[in-house]
Chain A
Amino acid sequence: MVQPQRRARNPLSTAVAAVLLLVGVIGAFWVPIYARSAPKLGDFPFFYWFQLIWMPVVMVLCYVAYLLMRTSPAAADNANGAPATDGQGAK
């Protein structure tokens, strides 16, 4: 049986998730931030290492946003209009 772990989505966590995702997008969209060669990391101009490092940063941002936005199976069953304790849906 699925334990009802209600995680009603509150507006705050949705807002935080939205901000995190927005930061991720803007970091790549705002080209003047990284269209420069200094400072270098090793032999890599800033333009290259910034984008290569921004990628894992965005992964983390997306994952945190996922944790904030995920629906527990019970909450999802609720949303379907079924009783939250109905474990049949797990099959």
Chain B
Amino acid sequence: MTHINAVSFTIVIVLFAVVTLAGFAAARWRRAESILHLNEWGLGGRSFGTFVTWFLLGGDLYTAYTFIAVPALVYGTGAAGFYALSYTIMVFPIVLVFAPRLWSIARVHGYVTPADFVRGRYGSRGLALAVAGTGILATMPYIALQLVGIQAVLTVLGVGGTSGNGFIRDLPLLIAFIILAAYTFFSGLRAPALIAFVKDTLVYVMVIVAVLYIPTKLGGWGHIFGTASTHLKATNPKTHKPFGSLIVLPAGEWAYATLALGSALALFMYPHAITGVFAAKRRNVIRRNMAMLPLYSIVLGLIALLGYMALATPAVNAGVKAGGGNAQLSVPLLFEHMFPSWFAGIGYSAIVIGALVPAAIMSIAAANLFTRNIYKEFFRPEASPAEQTRVAQFVSLIVKAGALVFVLALPKTFSINLQLLGGIWILQTFPSIVAGLYTRWFHRWALVIGWAAAMVYGTIQAYRAPVAGQPNSHFGTSTAPVFGHVMYIAIAAFVLNLAIAIVGTVVFRALRLPEGADETLPHQFTADPAAAAAAPVPATAAVPGTRPGSPSAT
């Protein structure tokens, strides 16, 4: 790790240059008359078909977190880390149910963000603000997580990483992020959509080669699983318990299942996932993608197994130990020791570019939220589409800078838990968004109170969760004992949220507290207009059935 591997490094630089060019060129791809409209900058013209959407969502959802943190968790704890696979199995059947409705209503009314929908459905600025704020809050650590992925690669490449001088150490990361920020600024969502093709191709190549080639060098899968089992059974000197297990133990089943379910319910509440959905051209594009995206999940399962391959490679174990026990180095180290330099370079590039795509989409999604639901809603209701777009462009820069500070100021070892704290928060917007797609029964204030209580509860529980073997430490894990079962905090908070929303609604309805105006109509949730609503119309002035020639329904 002390010297720079010239071959690997060159390949990373060349591929990084390729995606940089693609990122800037994307501004001309499927060019609109003007990019100064959030439908264009923020949603790629709402024009993506099945194929582009598949790459975009795949590139968006399977992030550097996938390549670094999941195998790292498997490396550290064994079977428990595999919840990520179970999670991505569950997510698509669930999302297939409600995402088409969300797409339709957004298309008819020109909604750019999930909070736009909540605003229109419940006529509540407060609830929309809660949803938008949660989205931004949850997205920030997620962007930071992408940086952690890049950092792990840079460390193994010998660039920066462990160098003493803080500025020099962070310089490569800084440069990568400035370039990313620049093309996101100019090209908007088209940049990550185009780069996603490069990213996903690299990832598929990397994974297929890794899974076929590495086991032959390590003496086969039997040896890999055997070594992993022995390692995991050994006693961890810090906790005086085994490191983990090869199969989930009965005591861990509840945590495994709730982590998977909670993450699956939460995934499409994230602004960046919804942005990918809203950018699709037709309703069936969404449905088809839910059947096609699990292909990435198979890749994720194989990537998780890289954690065991790393465990079976003594040189990797030595390298992780030398890196201060940082398990996130395990996959980059595995590439370094198993592959020839040139192919290791391809693997590193897959991770680095795999971080750029979601980071770009996340910053765009957060910028859309800020612009639509905070800036326009509370400060400049008369803001023109062009002004909104300019604001979003600059906010996307600020969001990225914020994430950079996040990652440089906080310890990196528990990035997966950091992301899971965001997961706890974002799941609390589920009742407002998803229930709203089916019913107006819930009272807006009850939803706000349920959300607030769950946010506080979830954050406190996460704060109180100690790091294994270190009592009185905080944010150690995303699970906590609830009624005798160790489970994902987000699910416990979600149940609390829902219970309060239901009780609150009954009470508020009995008191006849005013409900907000609902601008949506039942048939709009199944509509499939080919043309996007011309402009993100002000929520209050939205005309139902904006499709030309449709009879006014009200």
Contact = CB atoms under 8 A, between A and B. Distances in A.
A47 B247 contact: yes
A20 B260 CA distance: 19
Given A82-B549, A89-B529, A54 B246 contact: no
Contacts of A37: 246-247
A59 B294 contact: yes
Contact of A55 (B97, B287, B294): B294
B204 to A, nearest CB: 15
Interface stretch (B88-96, B188-196, B460-468): B88-96
Contacts of A56: 294, 298
Contact of B257 (A29, A58, A88): A29
Contacts of A42: 221
A11 interface: no
B549 A66 contact: no
Given A32-B253, A47-B79, A71-B283, A27 B89 contact: yes
Nearest to A64: B291
A51 B287 CA distance: 23
A8 B506 CA distance: 35
Nearest to B89: A28
A66 B287 contact: yes
Contact of A65 (B89, B96, B261): B96
A30 B528 CA distance: 36
Contacts of A28: 86-87, 89-90, 260
Given A25-B93, A28-B260, A80-B547, A71 B295 contact: no
Given A29-B260, A63-B291, A76 B221 contact: no
B526 A91 contact: no
Interface string A3-33: 0000000000000001011101101111110
A81 B529 CA distance: 11
Contacts of B222: 43
A61 interface: yes
A59 B292 contact: yes
A29 B487 CA distance: 13
Contacts of B260: 28-29
Contacts of B96: 21, 62, 65-66, 69
B301 interface: yes
B257 A89 contact: no
B220 A47 contact: no
A35 B305 contact: no
Contacts of B529: 80, 89
A15 to B, nearest CB: 13
Interface in B73-102: 79, 82, 85-90, 92-94, 96-97, 100
A91 B246 contact: no
Given A55-B298, A63-B291, A90-B530, A81 B550 contact: yes
Given A31-B257, A45-B247, A91 B90 contact: no
Contact of B248 (A18, A20, A22, A35): A35
Nearest to B92: A62
Chain A interface, DSSP helix/strand/loop, else mixed:
helix
A51 B89 contact: yes
B253 A35 contact: yes
Contacts of A79: 523, 526-528
A7 B273 CA distance: 30
Nearest to A30: B257
Contacts of B301: 51-52, 55
Contacts of A77: 528
A14 B527 CA distance: 17
A73 B90 contact: no
Contact of A81 (B87, B90, B290, B545): B545
Contacts of B297: 55
Given A43-B220, A65-B93, A80-B528, A31 B253 contact: yes
Contacts of B209: none
Contacts of A69: 96, 100, 287
A47 B257 contact: no
B482 interface: no
B18 to A, nearest CB: 31
Contacts of A89: 529-531, 547
Contacts of B380: none
B221 A43 contact: yes
Nearest to B305: A48
Most buried by A among B221, B224, B302: B221
Interface of A: 18, 20-22, 24-25, 27-32, 35-37, 42-45, 47-48, 51-52, 54-56, 58-59, 61-63, 65-66, 69-71, 73, 76-77, 79-83, 86, 88-91
27 contacts: A18-B97, A21-B93, A22-B93, A24-B89, A28-B260, A29-B86, A29-B261, A30-B257, A31-B248, A37-B247, A43-B224, A47-B247, A47-B248, A51-B82, A51-B85, A52-B298, A56-B298, A61-B93, A62-B92, A69-B287, A76-B526, A76-B528, A80-B523, A81-B545, A88-B549, A89-B529, A91-B530
Given A32-B253, A55-B301, 13 more contacts: A21-B94, A24-B93, A31-B248, A32-B250, A44-B225, A51-B85, A54-B89, A58-B89, A58-B92, A62-B93, A62-B290, A66-B284, A79-B527
Interface of B: 79, 82, 85-90, 92-94, 96-97, 100, 220-222, 224-225, 246-250, 253, 256-257, 260-261, 283-284, 287-288, 290-292, 294-295, 297-298, 301-302, 305, 523, 526-531, 545, 547-551, 553
The 5 closest A-B pairs by CB, nearest first: A76-B528, A43-B221, A43-B222, A21-B93, A63-B291
